[in-house]
Amino acid sequence: MAEHPHALTVRVLDVGQGDATYITNGGSRVIIDGGPDARRFGHLLDSLGVHDDTIDVVVLSHAHFDHYSGLRELFRTSRHIVVRYFFENQDPSAASSLRQLRDSIAGVWPTDRSSTAIRTIRAATAGRCARSRCAAVR
């Protein structure tokens, strides 16, 4: 049976320890977390046909290795994936692997500040405001 083109589809990806979720709705695509292993997450992206594509939103729920490490695969230039918005809670974690993820994201942002839509936003979460990072990559 063919999937309706505007159906909301939520796929909980088997990344082992941690979380990774892929959500589609028509042409919109969202990824929440990427699990602990970039290679495993990359394999899952391949099985879903996610390459040479645009992901509308990527959300890092929190700064635990088993949620963010796999996301590094999204920002490998060989995948040719454009991420429009990246949200994270800006946890001041000292983990070098989280710094590597943030650096890989920063590496794809335009250097011309006037065209960069990186901004701190207020996001309502559980009845309170939390600071989030929103990066639009064009």
In a domain? residue 125: no
List pLDDT tens digits, range 67-123: 999 998 888 878 888 888 888 887 777 688 888 888 877 765 544 433 333 332 333
In a domain? residue 82: yes
pLDDT at 37 over 90: yes
List pLDDT tens digits, range 76-89: 878 888 888 888 88
In a domain? residue 120: no
In a domain? residue 71: yes
In a domain? residue 93: yes
Span between the terminal Cα atoms of the chain, in Å: 36
DSSP single-letter state for residue 9: E
Distance between CA 119 and CA 91 in Å, rounded?
16
Q: Structural domain of residue 73, as residue ranges?
A: 8-107
Give pTM, 2 decimals.
Answer: 0.74
In a domain? residue 3: no
In a domain? residue 115: no
How many domains are there within the chain? 1
Instruction: Please count the CA atoms within 13 angstroms of the CA of 40 that sit on its side-chain side.
Output: 18
CATH number at residue 69: 3.60.15.10
Distance between CA 36 and CA 49 in Å, rounded?
20
E-assigned strands of the chain?
8-12, 20-25, 28-34, 54-59, 82-88, 117-125, 128-136
Residue type, 88: E
In a domain? residue 130: no
